[in-house]
Amino acid sequence: MKMKIFHGSKKIIEKPQFGVGKIHNDYGRGFYYTESLEIAKEWACDYLEDGFANAYELDCEELKILNLNDKNIIFYIGYQY
């Protein structure tokens, strides 16, 4: 299965690289992307600045994807004594 993904940025990024993003992002350095072109456009830049919605095709064939919206996932919170 292939998925089309988008990354909003102030510049064109031809090949994504891990570890070069902003250190203070919500989940630290990483390559943040979305399946929504509109959201990528919003993330591309600050108000009144130009930016780019970079588009990529992600091959998911060999990936193991955890769907956190799956109703069968059980989370355990707390300590075990």
Q: What is the mean pLDDT of residues 6-13?
A: 93
Is the Cβ–Cβ distance between 57 and 3 less than 8 Å? yes
Is 80 exceeded by the pLDDT of residue 77?
no
Is the Cβ–Cβ distance between 62 and 11 less than 8 Å? no
- Please report how many Cα atoms fall inside a 13 Å half-sphere around the Cα of residue 9, on the Cβ side: 16
Q: Tell me the per-residue pLDDT of 26-68, one tens digit each, with 9 for 90 and over.
A: 777 888 899 999 999 998 988 788 999 999 999 989 888 777 7
2's enclosing H/E stretch is strand 2-9
Cα-based angle 45, 40, 24 (whole degrees, multiple of 5): 60
Domain locations in the chain as residue ranges:
2-59
pTM of the model: 0.70
